[in-house]
Chains A and B, each alone.
Chain A
Amino acid sequence: MFFRKNSKKVFVIGLDSTPAKLLFEDFKEELPNLRKMIEEGTYANFRSTHPPITIPAWMSICSGKTAGEMGVYGFRTRTNNSYTKFDISTSFKFKNVEKIWDKLAKHGKKSILVGIPPTYPPYPIDGCMVSGFICPNSEKEYTYPESLKKEIERVCGEYIFDVVFRTEERDKLIQNVWEMTEERFAVIEYLVKNKRWDFFMFVEIGVDRVQHAFWKYYDPSHPLYQPNHRYKNVILDYYKLIDKRIGRILSLLDKNTVIYVISDHGAKAMKGSFCLNEWLIKEGYLVLNKYPQNVVPLEELDVNWSKTRAWGWGGYYGRIFINKKGREKQGIVDEEDYEKLRNELIIKLEREKDKFGRTWNTKVYKPEELYNILKGDYPDLMAYFDDLAYRSAGTVGHKKLFLDENDTGPDDAMHDWEGVFVRYDPREKGRGKKETMSILDFKANIMETMNIG
C-alpha cells in the first residue's frame, strides 16, 4: 500500500432525481458536455434502493448499505414505537455508517463534499463539507471547518440551500432555482481551484425541484399535461444551465480525474395521491373517536388506539404500522394474528383499483423481504402505489380515497426507480451502455477507481 502506483482523483456530479430516459434519450443531444461523457464513457440505468427517496438513497450510494442496514427509512423514522413521534434523518443518524469519505480518509485521501443529503449538521471529515438542503438557513453553521463559511460568503454572499418549490408562483421559482444553482456552481468552482482534494462530490437539488414543479408541462403522459405552455421547456433549459456549468468545471480538472454523473432515483408523472389513512378508516383498521372537520395530519387526529389495528404514513411511498400488543403502548394485535393481518392488508391494497377504477400496479412489501438486516423502527409494511405513480397521503379529512394532486401542495412529479450512472475517464475509452447497476455498488466502484481495497 505504500507503493501504490495509481492515484486517480474522482469528481462526482450528483443530480438529484435525474431519470435515465430523460438524460440518455430525451435531452442528450441538447447537452454537449454531458453527451460527451455519456458517449465516450460508460453509462447505465442506476437502480435506486428501497425506498427510492432522497434520504436514504444518497446515503446508500455513499455507503453501499441498504435503508434497513442504516435503520433510516425516509426523511423521518419512527422512534420508540411511538404512534406520533419520529426522528428527522439528519447527518447524525448516519454517524456510524462508513461513507466513501470515511474510508478514503483512512488511506490519507482528502474529500470535498457539497450539498450531499444529509450532511446537516456538518461534521468533521478529512477535507471540507458544505451541508445539504435540510439546513434551515445560512445563519446556521453549515460547513466543516467552520471557517469555510466565511470563504463561501465571500464567493456568493448568502448561500442558498434550497427553494420553495411547492408553489403556484412558478416564475419566481424559476428565478430562485437559477440563482441557487449558479451560486452553488460558483462555490464548487472555488473549492475545486483552491482546496486540496482527491475525492470531490456534490449534489444539485435544483434538478429535483424543477422536475417536481414543471413536469406536467413537459411530459404528455401526465394526467394534467398542458401542451405548448410557456413553461414547456423549463426542465430542458435548467439541464442546459447545469450542462454549461459542468463544462466550466470539466475545464478545471486534469486528465487524471475520473468523472461520475449519478442520480439517486428517477422521476415520472404523478397521477395523484392515494389517501392511505382514509382507506384504513374505510376498511375498519384505523378507528377514530371523531372524524375531523378539516384536513389534518395523523398527530392531530382523535384516534381510538384501543380499537385501531393499523395506521399509515404519507410520502412518496406508504408506510403502514400495525398496532401490535406488547410493542405499541395500546397495542391490540396479538403476535399470532400479526402475520395474518399483514397478509390481509397486502392482498387488499394490491387488489384496490386506481382513481379511474382500473387495476393498478401496487406493490406492498414486508420489510424483511427487502432487507437482510433490519435496524431501527422499521414500518410493518411498505407500499408503492401503482408502482410509485400515486403518492401516499397520510392526512385525513378529505372524505375520499384519491386526490388529483399532492396533499401537501402543488407537485407534478413522483420518484421512479431508475436514475443515471455515467463514468468518464479522460484517459480511457468507455464501454458504452452497460446493464442496469444498483446504487449500492457505487462505493465499491469508487474504491476500485481509486485503487483502494
Chain B
Amino acid sequence: MVESHKRSVAKAISWRILATLTTVTIVYIFTHKLVLAMEVGLVEAIAKMVVYYLHERGWNKLKWGKVTHPLEKLAVKKELTTEDMEKVKAQLREMGYID
C-alpha cells in the first residue's frame, strides 16, 4: 500500500515532538542549562523533521519489500457512456431484469 504525503507529514510531526523532548532532557541532564537544552532541541527539531520527511519519501520510491498489484497504477476504465448505458438498460429490460 502506498503511504500518502499527509500521513508521512503527520508521522514526522508526532515523532519529532517525542524525539525533541528526549533531546532536550538529555542535554539538560548533561549541562544543567535549560535555555541551551531548549535551543538545541529547537534546531534539532526543525532540521530532523525535514530530514525525516525526505527519508520517508525516499523509501516510498523503492519497490523492494512491498507487495503490490502489478496494475494498481492503471485506473479502472471510466464508466460507460450515456449512449452505451441506455443500450445496456434496454437489453436488461428485454431480459426482464428491470421493468
**A and B bind:** yes
Asked if B3 is an interface residue, CB under 8 A from chain A, the answer is no
**Residue among B96, B98, B99 facing the most chain A CB atoms (10 A cut-off):** B99
A106 with B71: in contact, given A92-B79, A134-B88, A166-B96 (CB under 8 Å)?
A: no
Residues of B within 8 A of A (CB): 67-71, 74, 76-80, 84-85, 87-89, 91-99
Asked if A409 is an interface residue, CB under 8 A from chain B, the answer is yes
Distance between Cα atoms of A125 and B71 in the complex (Å): 7
Taking a contact as CB atoms under 8 Å apart, the answer to whether B70 and A406 are in contact is: no
Taking a contact as CB atoms under 8 Å apart, the answer to whether A105 and B69 are in contact is: yes
Taking a contact as CB atoms under 8 Å apart, the answer to whether A411 and B96 are in contact is: yes
| CB of A400, distance to nearest CB on chain B (Å) | 16
Residues of A within 8 A of B (CB): 74-76, 86, 88, 90-92, 95, 102, 105-108, 120-126, 134, 136, 140, 162, 164-166, 297-298, 313-315, 393-395, 406-409, 411
Q: Which chain A residues border B92 with CB–CB below 8 Å?
A: 75-76, 88, 134
Distance between Cα atoms of A393 and B98 in the complex (Å): 10
Q: Indicate which residue in B70, B80, B99 contacts A126 across the interface (CB closer than 8 Å).
A: B70
Q: Indicate which residue in B74, B79, B95 contacts A90 across the interface (CB closer than 8 Å).
A: B79
Distance between Cα atoms of A88 and B88 in the complex (Å): 8
Q: Which chain A residues border B78 with CB–CB below 8 Å?
A: 92
Which chain A residue shows the least CB distance to B83? Answer: A136
A124 with B98: in contact, given A90-B79, A134-B92 (CB under 8 Å)?
A: no
Taking a contact as CB atoms under 8 Å apart, the answer to whether A123 and B77 are in contact is: yes
Q: Which chain A residues border B69 with CB–CB below 8 Å?
A: 102, 105-106, 126
Taking a contact as CB atoms under 8 Å apart, the answer to whether B76 and A95 are in contact is: yes
A90 with B76: in contact, given A75-B98, A76-B98, A409-B96 (CB under 8 Å)?
A: no
A121 with B99: in contact, given A107-B67, A126-B71 (CB under 8 Å)?
A: no
B-side interface mostly: loop
Taking a contact as CB atoms under 8 Å apart, the answer to whether B71 and A88 are in contact is: no
Taking a contact as CB atoms under 8 Å apart, the answer to whether B96 and A92 are in contact is: no
Q: Which chain B residues border A393 with CB–CB below 8 Å?
A: 99
Q: Which chain B residues border A298 with CB–CB below 8 Å?
A: 99
Which chain A residue shows the least CB distance to B92? Answer: A75
Q: Indicate which residue in B71, B89, B91, B93 contacts A124 across the interface (CB closer than 8 Å).
A: B71
Taking a contact as CB atoms under 8 Å apart, the answer to whether A90 and B67 are in contact is: no
Which chain B residue shows the least CB distance to A95? Answer: B76
Q: Which chain B residues border A409 with CB–CB below 8 Å?
A: 94, 96
Taking a contact as CB atoms under 8 Å apart, the answer to whether A164 and B71 are in contact is: no
Taking a contact as CB atoms under 8 Å apart, the answer to whether B80 and A90 are in contact is: yes
Q: Which chain B residues border A313 with CB–CB below 8 Å?
A: 99
Which chain A residue shows the least CB distance to B85? Answer: A88
Q: Which chain A residues border B70 with CB–CB below 8 Å?
A: 105, 108, 126
Q: Which chain B residues border A86 with CB–CB below 8 Å?
A: 98
Instruction: Name 29 A/B residue pairs within 8 A (Cβ), A-sorted.
Output: A75-B98, A76-B97, A76-B98, A86-B98, A88-B85, A90-B79, A92-B76, A95-B76, A106-B69, A122-B77, A123-B76, A124-B71, A124-B74, A124-B76, A126-B70, A126-B71, A134-B91, A136-B88, A136-B91, A164-B94, A165-B95, A166-B95, A166-B96, A315-B98, A393-B99, A407-B99, A408-B95, A408-B96, A408-B99
Which chain B residue shows the least CB distance to A134? Answer: B88
Distance between Cα atoms of A105 and B72 in the complex (Å): 10
Taking a contact as CB atoms under 8 Å apart, the answer to whether A90 and B71 are in contact is: no
**Residue among B68, B91, B94 facing the most chain A CB atoms (10 A cut-off):** B91
| CB of A431, distance to nearest CB on chain B (Å) | 32
Q: Which chain A residues border B67 with CB–CB below 8 Å?
A: 106-107
